[in-house]
Structure 1
Amino acid sequence: MNICFISREYPPQTGWGGIGTYTRIIAQALAARGHAVHVIAVSNTGSAFEYADHAVHAVHVHRVLPLPFPLPQGKALYRFRQAARAFAFNTLVRLSWAKAAGEKYRELAKTKNFDIVESAECGAEAFYVKPRDGARLVIRLHTPWSMAAKLDRIDEGRFDTWLTGYFERKTALRAHGVSSPTQALASILRKQWGLSRIVCYPNPLDADSFSAPALPGNYIIYTGRVERRKGVHLLVQAYGMLIKKGIDMPGLLLVGAPFGGIAGQGPYEESIERLIDSLGVREKITWIKKADRDEVVRKLPGACMAVFPSLWENFPYACLEAMAAGLPVVASRCGGYEEIIEEGRSGVLAAPGNAEDLTQCIERMITDTCLAQTCGQGGRERVRVLCNTDAVVLRTEQLYGECAHG
């Protein structure tokens, strides 16, 4: 098959999160199976360029620059353009990238004869893609921006967030196939977007590519973007409570870039810094704010456990990678975590948004070495089976085949 992925995120240049990690892993796995794979991703260098990603088999990567805002021109529409920039600025930023990706896709499609085009729903990146000559559009659900923005309380305006959600839904509804790594997100979007059929199968990850530590490390670790919906404020609060109880706590290592500003409160980064100072735990907490995925992977073996206290989550690679590295994990009892973690066997789940319950779960994992060992070993095996790349690729090929011949 000839396959094209459209993903603003694609490591290493723009490997900002789980969408980029998923896209690279699945693209390389499909290429290894003999498919011709192209990826259209954003350029952060100021110029467009192309290269072959040879990590496994060649994936052809096309980096493009966003285009000007997709607004009608002419003097008569000046006030409309001004209003659009004022009330829908962030949606226009997303559409300017989507339009560039759509134009690059049409250029490539003239000679590549794509069978499948896959893109995330987040940000409506495939909105301008019009598959030609039998090519089929597949949308992979990660978490819509319109949903994430509400959880993060992002201060970008209700209309702006709603409009992005409109384009996300419209793109998903015209797709020939929709897939999700979790039943949790599929259930929500079936109701909210009216998607009639969503195929569910996990995201891929090779657990054996991670080194499991021979002995427990000396710090608790959190990896991922530091934003409100990830619940990092709850982790800092729980850590402070444990220190106050007089428990001999290992250090806490946060690895991830700060993201988002909460309406009426300023940047989330500043609220976390203030919280750390107010609890008097500055000397016990280290925050690495700039780290690529390779550095994150290097930090995992030195940890004794990982904590992911999200308010809601789909299928987070940060948690999967920690489990693959053999770390006992405490996460929230919400969304995809409940489909990933088996309570007491591959991790422990805390009530979402509840710092007290999170405190108890962390204390339990710290003090019960038998539980920690069981969850560490069980978590690694869980990822090995659940996220087996070969199995996920077969499910992906099956969906592609159904879309191509349906």
Structure 2
Amino acid sequence: MAWLTDRRLRELLLAMLALGLPAAPARAQAPLPTGDGITGDYYDGVEFDRLVLSRRDATLAFDWTHQPPAPGVPAEYFSVRWTGWLVPPASGRYVFHATVDDGMRIWLNDKLILNEWRPQPVRTFTTSIKLNAGEPYRLRVEYFQEILDTRARITWERPDEPLKSPPSSWRNFWGRTAETPRPGPIPTQFLFSRNPRPVVARPAPAKLPSPVPRQSPVVARPAPVPTRPSRPAAPPRRPAPAPLAPVAAARVEIQALPPPSVLLADSGSTARLSGLGVGETITLPELYFNQGQAVLLPAARRALDGLAAALSARPTLRFEVQGHTDNVGNAELNRQLSQQRADAVCRYLAAHGVAPERLRSVGYGGTQPVADNADPTQRPRNRRVVLRRL
């Protein structure tokens, strides 16, 4: 093939095109799913003190003009936490603009990309991040309002639709009176209350072949050499019995066991949720929190993914999700923090297919320690989440 130079190869390709040979069909891309909005939890109090209601909001663009944001929620001194998923329509860098009064925080895949958490007049903040088209990103937005204006608005600039000024012409005095284009709110079709990524079923484990017994070779023992007796001959000895051949082992079928419901990482054992009696509890060893925070850590999210799958397979089970803290700091603030941690677990499970009415969140603060709070190495064990069957 040495004679097939680059030039010759190009000539052959041109000849094939001239003959009208069909080209390889382009690979079709899967259409993007359509979103249903984002879940908003509305609280009385600026620190998520008392949950009033949960609803699905179409987008994140609100100006309540000194009016209550929802029935039962006060017009001032309230807070909102929106949770869901964002699916970008194109790959590239997105620019997010947050117009807020008073405070706002934004996370994408648990990465804090904007933090303006303080009382302030109406202001606009900007942040940018690279995103991949069609990939679900876990979105969380927190907002609190004290007094005066009530503004919580998030807009974006897409990489596939950059903002462009209108062309200059005599109509706008050659650009002098042209309006600057403004970014718009995130459309509902890109916001999801649940993860839109399909769940891929895991293949069943392959059945192991049955063990084949190994035959041990039979070694013949040499016959004893007869000796001349010096006294009357003794009765002849019975020949030593030949070693028995090993009995063939029975064939054993090794069957794969079903996957456990919950894996307790600290003990290596498994606990089945359906085997719990009413009132019995399970402590999830990977559901710990950093001190003073209610943010789910990566290890906790992996444990909750398995828990959500187990609960989805058993739709009749109901649980109380208990939040616990250590005893450092104010007892009432610890109780509120433990309630926020229990709420975070319930929201995550609800976002992964578990019906909210099957879960009840309760915060116990530091009233039920399981480790010595005086020992800094043991204290993190008290920042935990417990499931009690109802």
Q: Return the TM-score normalized by structure 2.
A: 0.23
Q: Greater strand share, 1 or 2?
A: 2
Kindly name which structure, 1 or 2, has the bigger radius of gyration based on alpha carbons: 2
TM-score (norm 1): 0.22
Compare the two structures and name the one with the higher helix fraction: 1
